[in-house]
Amino acid sequence: VWATSSPASRVSRLSERRFTRPIWWEDDSPDAAVVVIDQRRLPHEATTCRWTTVQDTAEGIRSMQVRGAPLIGVAAAHGVALAMRGDPSDASLESAIALLAATRPTAINLRWALDRSRMALTGIRDDARADVARQVADAFAEDDVASCRRIGEAGLEVLREIHERTGRPVQVLTHCNAGWLACVELGTVLAPVYLAREAGLPVHVWVSETRPRNQGASLTTWELAQGGVPHTLIVDNAAGHLLRTGQVDVVITGADRIAANGDVANKVGTYLKAVAARDAGVPFLTAAPASTFDPSCPDGDAIPIEERDEDEVLLVNGSPIAPEGTRARNWAFDITPARLVDGYLTDRGHLAPGHLEPVLR
Ligand code: MRU
């Protein structure tokens, strides 16, 4: 814990240590713990949590030490590896999968990773399962890195085209956090931004705060500051104003699940940004790997939307913001209909609406 006294010293202390990934094994030993950045405490404290059991992993996902669809999937695979180390039996595998699957309902990457972990471990002898499960978790992490890079390359072309057309720094609006904190490296939405930066293309990111958990305010700003990317924080409701007044070139958001018809589940508030973007004639793009597409969901209505504790809405920094007795509803995600999505930046290319075959296979 980097306990500090003033906001100014916090900023400088945080920049002293540069994390590059949100999850890793503590060391190479067979009984190593899984270490994750505790995302609940950013940006004020850069602390980590150690997981030694699958129960730790499940609690870490549920309590949002880690969050973001791709990272939830990668984390779950690490949880399976921890379970296999303790007890490699089929019963233990199934109970680990059930425990992890029940943590958060919307991000399909979780089920995707668990289904693939089960497939990889089926037919493997009990005494080899712990090793294989760890290799599987590592492979998922590396695959995610490669996916994010490909998403970044697809998005970089879009940003380059905008810059060549306008001759100005590209103005990107995003919501929530879909950077490397939500993945393993680079991120989905932020991958094009980081690659643009590497390529010397000027980019500025408008970051919406993302009530009630403020993933934009606390995580995306932190990431962008670490990466030296110019950015400005706005309240969620300012996005409409920015879009209407021509201050945004492209909206890019992530996804927790994309249905077969292209409807997108993402952090609550995404839909309103898509509506405002369409009204303003600004392209709205969704960035996500193939593992976020769910061919078994025909449309957005089939996607389960997580509803979280009302206290996340009713309390700010532990203090009530509404009269006692006020009830709140707290949907964590919403659905943006496919008709509002202008393109999908995926690890299988920049796909046009209605042409999602490469990611639905
Ligand atoms: O509730 P969270 O923080 O897990 O929600 C995260 C999002 O909505 C992200 O936009 C999405 O998972 C994509 S992350 C690359």
Question: What residue has token string 């929530």?
Answer: 176
Q: Is the pLDDT of residue 3 over 80?
A: no
Task: Round the average pLDDT of the chain to a whole number and report it.
Answer: 95
Beta bridge partners of 36: 23, 49
What is the per-residue pLDDT across 202-253, written as a single tens digit (0 to 9) for each? 999 999 999 999 999 999 999 999 999 999 999 999 999 999 999 999 999 9
Note the pLDDT of residue 12: 42
pLDDT band at 9 (very low <50, low <70, confident <90, very high): very low
Tell whether ligand 1 has an atom less than 6 A from the beta carbon of residue 68. Answer: yes
Note the pLDDT of residue 20: 83
Distance 218 CA to ligand 1 centre (A): 13
pLDDT band at 4 (very low <50, low <70, confident <90, very high): very low
Tell whether ligand 1 has an atom less than 6 A from the beta carbon of residue 256. Answer: yes
Percent of the chain topping pLDDT 70: 95
Tell whether ligand 1 has an atom less than 6 A from the beta carbon of residue 266. Answer: yes
Note the pLDDT of residue 10: 45
- Which ligand 1 atom is nearest residue 188's CA? 15
* Structure-derived torsion over alpha carbons of residues 129, 135, 138, 142, reported in degrees to the nearest 10: -140
Distance 265 CA to ligand 1 centre (A): 10
Overall average pLDDT of the 169-174 stretch: 98
Residue with CA nearest ligand 1 atom 8: 267
Note the pLDDT of residue 5: 36
Tell whether ligand 1 has an atom less than 6 A from the beta carbon of residue 67. Answer: yes
Q: Which of 56, 236, 256, 294 is catalytic?
A: 256
- Which ligand 1 atom is nearest residue 175's CA? 10
Note the pLDDT of residue 19: 76
Q: In a mutational test of the pocket of ligand 1, which residue from 66, 267, 268 has the highest number of ligand atoms less than 8 Å from its CB?
A: 267
Q: Is the pLDDT of residue 342 over 50?
A: yes
Percent of the chain topping pLDDT 90: 93
pTM: predicted TM-score of the whole model, two decimal places: 0.94
What is the per-residue pLDDT across 303-325, written as a single tens digit (0 to 9) for each? 999 999 999 999 998 999 999 99
Note the pLDDT of residue 17: 57
Overall average pLDDT of the 48-69 stretch: 98
What is the per-residue pLDDT across 13-56, written as a single tens digit (0 to 9) for each? 444 556 789 999 999 999 999 999 999 999 999 899 999 999 99
Tell whether ligand 1 has an atom less than 6 A from the beta carbon of residue 148. Answer: no
Overall average pLDDT of the 136-153 stretch: 98
Active-site residue flag, 256: yes
Give the span between the Cα atoms of 173 and 246, in whole angstroms.
12
Q: Is the pLDDT of residue 6 over 70?
A: no
Tell whether ligand 1 has an atom less than 6 A from the beta carbon of residue 176. Answer: yes
Residue with CA nearest ligand 1 atom 6: 68
